[in-house]
A and B are shown apart, each in its own frame.
Chain A
Amino acid sequence: MYKILKAEKLADKIYLMDVHAPRVASHCQPGQFVIVKMDDKGERIPLTICDYDREAGTITIVFQEVGASTIKMADLKEGDSFRDFVGPLGCPSEFIHEDLEALKNKKMLFVAGGVGAAPVYPQVKWLHEHGIEADVIVGSKTKDMLILEKELESVAGNLYVTTDDGSYGRSGMVTAVIEDLVQNEGKQYDVCVAIGPMIMMKFVCLLTKKLNLPTIVSMNPIMVDGTGMCGACRLQVGDEIKFACVDGPEFDGHLVDFDQAMKRSQMYRTEEGRAVLKVQEGDTHHGGCGNCGGDN
């Protein structure tokens, strides 16, 4: 069992937890993820590592309520435990293997969409700790859903916040900010790292391709084991089929087939919808048709 040492609500439907998992904390690097399983009957869910404390043996995870499992997970409190918590999984971000001096001469731009701010944070923090100041754009639907602003501010070179509805910071999508920075404010970047919903990463990539800006994305397909044994998370990257859990999750965004990846993410939509209804309706749940007597 893996004890929750801190549980905090960051924004509407977005939660942060510190989980005691010393083996993961001692080995993890920016860019990697964990798989959690809440209880005996739970499913395995991949979550990016948002922060880690090697001394305390803890991992910080951030998740959003999007379906039955995350709704149930949101009820966990300080002192509760996850039944299973495995990692670190996937490859670390490539830049941690690069020569530090070369890296210092690189201008890096990070683009985070929604809860994508969580996986961006450890990368920018790592760079900051190694004397590199990267620019960060954070996009949020509304002011209320913005997370980790202070944390990102403390490690980023420049932080640009934008909301879809203009309720805070700049107004509009992250792509508008990228265009603005590069085309109107004369910013030059050597590489862009975009993490967020697939649709956002797709549009960032369409733009950066035009701008001739190499772009790395962190893919979030459906996963089961997360160790390379099933291929549920497979993606078309250029001419090759890659397993996001072992070959990624970070890939050259200009080579990823986003349309196919988004279609694959929809595979269990019906089942997920039924599961959410089951959690929300509790004992009154009857499968929907009113005749069948429930879907148990």
Chain B
Amino acid sequence: MADVLKKVPVREQDPKVRATNFEEVCLGYNQEEAMDEATRCLGCKNAKCIDGCPVAIDIPGFIKEVKEGNIEEAYKVIGKSSALPAICGRVCPQESQCEGKCIRGIKGEPVSIGKLERFVADYALEHDIKPVCPETNNGRKVAVIGSGPSGLTCAGDLAKMGYDVTVFEALHELGGVLVYGIPEFRLPKQKVVAKEIEKVKELGVKFEPNVVIGKSTTIDQLVEEEGFEAVFVGSGAGLPMFMGIPGENANGVFSANEYLTRSNLMKAFDDNYDTPIVAGTKVAVVGGGNVAMDAARTALRLGAEVHIVYRRSEAELPARVEEVHHAKEEGVIFDLLTNPKEILVDDNGYVKGMKVVKMELGEPDASGRRRPVEIPDSEYEIELDTVVMSLGTSPNPLISSTTKGLEVNRRKCIVAEEENGQTSKAGVYAGGDAVTGAATVILAMGAGKAGAKGIDEYLNKK
């Protein structure tokens, strides 16, 4: 019987072993462990965990089914709210969402909701449990731009409502950040992502990869020439930022997007694939978010000594606690309260080091976070051969600049209403990182759901 105060521990690959491979770190629960963990749920009538979930999954409802061993039923309960549970169970920041609100967490550890969701979803993938398909197709065409989490969710929901949905994707693989950004060791591509997308295809959604909206065609042309009655824009925030310090164009300086795209999407870590990656022997990853952790742990697996260089302290790291913990276990070194000033370059144009300065935390700024301030005369140099810049991303202006009447804000984010995704242009809806700037997978899914609802209401009135 489980200790009611503690989560049933989840099996993981040994840190020393996993630091040398790209296999998934967390092995997940088996049915016995899942049923055991499920008994810790109190089944609250007024469940706070549901409020914490951006797509409001009936959490006590599915956990009750797990408790009784009805895994297929549990999958159906989740399926009413979420199209991608195997993904969200793995990558959601549950500590600040569902699990953050769990009553069990007041005294002891919250119920391991993410791991239970993951168990149910993996069970459904393994046992090939099909999603419930729509009974009728209403023949009305809707275009979805981008096959990331918001686009996939919106497309899945619209298909369930009977719409004829086509998803346009600029890259050659489907999944957006799920395939190019989040590494294999956190989110397996064939075993999980491809199979979840297969389930969206089973709902009747069509996919067209290699189409760059704004270049290969435009939103206006999709509506005027191809008969789409509404459009959902889920094009994400894929434009990388650089620091603007000297030496940033040296050989060996990458954006995290490039580094991760080479490794995840192009499989550069595998010699059987043609795309090269320069692994580096001593790597600095600048930044403290989840993307920085992903880049650092990737570099580690390619054989490098890896440093996270972050200008604030550990308490302010924006990355998930679990990811920081995993990175440390695997041997990533944290150079906190440290900020790059210049990248040092050798005569052949390659990185040879980085000049950094020590920081201390000053007064809180407008966002409430204590602002890092340089400590005078604390500059020093570190030797390196690779630097990965992980400073955040912003939306690509390609779509907004080629769509007449689509309003964007100062940060180039598309302006859209939160409850239904409606933009300034009739018939065009938007959601996910394209609207919010870089955020989380589950928030993007929530926006995809809202967009599908908005489009359905719009087309019913038309």
A231 to B240 alpha-carbon distance, docked (Å): 7
- Residues of A within 8 Å of B398, CB to CB, are 227-228, 246
CB atoms of B266 and A44 under 8 A apart: yes
Residue of A nearest to B277 (CB): A271
Q: Say yes or no for B5: interface residue by CB 8 A criterion.
A: no
Q: Say yes or no for A272: interface residue by CB 8 A criterion.
A: yes
CB atoms of A230 and B275 under 8 A apart: no
CB atoms of A89 and B249 under 8 A apart: no
Q: Say yes or no for A83: interface residue by CB 8 A criterion.
A: yes
Q: Say yes or no for A150: interface residue by CB 8 A criterion.
A: no
Contacts of A1-44 to chain B: CB distance below 8 A = 23-24, 26-27, 37, 41-44
Residue of A nearest to B248 (CB): A241
Q: Known contacts A88-B215, A228-B238, A228-B398; decide if A263 and B272 are in contact (CB<8 Å).
A: no
Contact of A230 among B216, B261, B276 (CB under 8 A): B261
- Residues of B within 8 Å of A86, CB to CB, are 170, 172, 210-212, 216
Number of B residues, CB within 8 Å of A = 39
Residue of B nearest to A261 (CB): B249
- Residues of B within 8 Å of A224, CB to CB, are 258, 261-262, 266, 275
Q: Mark A251-278, 1 if CB is under 8 A from B, else 0.
A: 0000000001001101110011001000
Residue of A nearest to B170 (CB): A227
CB atoms of A260 and B271 under 8 A apart: no
CB distance from B113 to the nearest CB of A (A): 32
Contact of B212 among A44, A83, A227, A267 (CB under 8 A): A227
Main secondary structure of the interface of A (DSSP, over half): mixed
- Residues of B within 8 Å of A271, CB to CB, are 276-278
CB distance from B340 to the nearest CB of A (A): 16
Q: Say yes or no for A114: interface residue by CB 8 A criterion.
A: no
CB atoms of A241 and B242 under 8 A apart: yes
CB atoms of A43 and B249 under 8 A apart: no
- Residues of A within 8 Å of B238, CB to CB, are 227-229
CB distance from A3 to the nearest CB of B (A): 14
Residues of A in contact with B, size category: 35 or more
- Residues of A within 8 Å of B239, CB to CB, are 228-229
Contact of B396 among A26, A89, A227 (CB under 8 A): A227
CB atoms of B276 and A89 under 8 A apart: no
Contact of A69 among B251, B257, B274 (CB under 8 A): B274
CB distance from A182 to the nearest CB of B (A): 33
Q: Mark A50-64, 1 if CB is under 8 A from B, else 0.
A: 000000000000000
A263 to B272 alpha-carbon distance, docked (Å): 27
CB atoms of B249 and A241 under 8 A apart: yes
CB atoms of A41 and B396 under 8 A apart: no
A240 to B13 alpha-carbon distance, docked (Å): 45
Residue of B nearest to A234 (CB): B249
CB distance from A198 to the nearest CB of B (A): 13
A84 to B212 alpha-carbon distance, docked (Å): 13
Q: Known contacts A43-B275, A224-B258, A230-B255; decide if A260 and B349 are in contact (CB<8 Å).
A: yes
CB atoms of A264 and B349 under 8 A apart: yes
Q: Say yes or no for B15: interface residue by CB 8 A criterion.
A: no
CB atoms of A225 and B261 under 8 A apart: yes
Which positions in A face B, CB cutoff 8 Å? 23-24, 26-27, 37, 41-44, 68-69, 83-89, 224-225, 227-232, 234-236, 241, 246, 260, 263-264, 266-268, 271-272, 275, 295-296
A-B CB contact pairs (8 Å), 11 listed: A26-B217, A37-B172, A84-B172, A84-B209, A89-B212, A224-B262, A227-B171, A229-B257, A231-B240, A236-B249, A263-B349
Which positions in B face A, CB cutoff 8 Å? 170-172, 209-212, 215-217, 238-240, 242, 244, 248-249, 251-252, 254-255, 257-258, 261-262, 266-267, 271-278, 348-349, 396, 398
